[in-house]
Amino acid sequence: MPTKKKRPRRKSEKPPPQRRRGPAKPKRSGTRRAPVIRTGASLQYKVVELSTVDEGALERTLNEWTAKGWNLDGVQFAMRESSKRPAMAFILFTREGVAAAPDEDAARAKLLRLSESGPTSLGNAWTPGEGSHPPFHPLSAHERLARLAGLDEPEPPEEGLTLEPEE
């Protein structure tokens, strides 16, 4: 099948229209937010992770955090290979101010409270006044799983087990 011949470009007899250089069109109000002018203060960042990405979850999150004084910085979506819908969304917020210093004493107290109430609290006699860090008692993975399962002692491995043939 023969291909069609391309028509030669026709040269226009008149020049292209000139662009307007006068005053620009008035912008519609409400289409853009005013730029945020930053002072010398540093920025705080907030990242909110959404595992269910739908219109309602995005809307609730945006409304919640902007009401608390955070400014939307951006949204990042984590995509699945097998689907066109995002698997997760990360919503980024900023606000002016110095980041709060971490409260190490409160964090230590929370860890201590969790260790006393957890299944591994057996034999934990450390108190905060004795030292700055709790003692480290290594456990094998098998012992840790046995404690998590509620067993007092891990079961010894069975040896010499043979199967009888069915008759």
Specify the number of domains making up the chain: 1
For 62-121, how does the pLDDT look when each residue is reduced to its tens digit (9 = 90+)? 999 999 999 999 999 999 888 888 999 999 999 988 766 778 888 888 888 887 765 554
H runs (alpha helix) in the chain: 55-67, 104-117, 141-149
Would residue 64 count as lying in a domain?
Answer: yes
Would residue 85 count as lying in a domain?
Answer: yes
CB distance 69 to 44 below 8 Å: no
In one letter, which amino acid is 7?
Answer: R
Would residue 13 count as lying in a domain?
Answer: no
Domain that holds residue 50: 43-96
For 17-63, how does the pLDDT look when each residue is reduced to its tens digit (9 = 90+)? 777 776 666 665 555 666 666 565 688 889 999 999 999 999 999 99
CB distance 88 to 50 below 8 Å: yes
In one letter, which amino acid is 84?
Answer: K
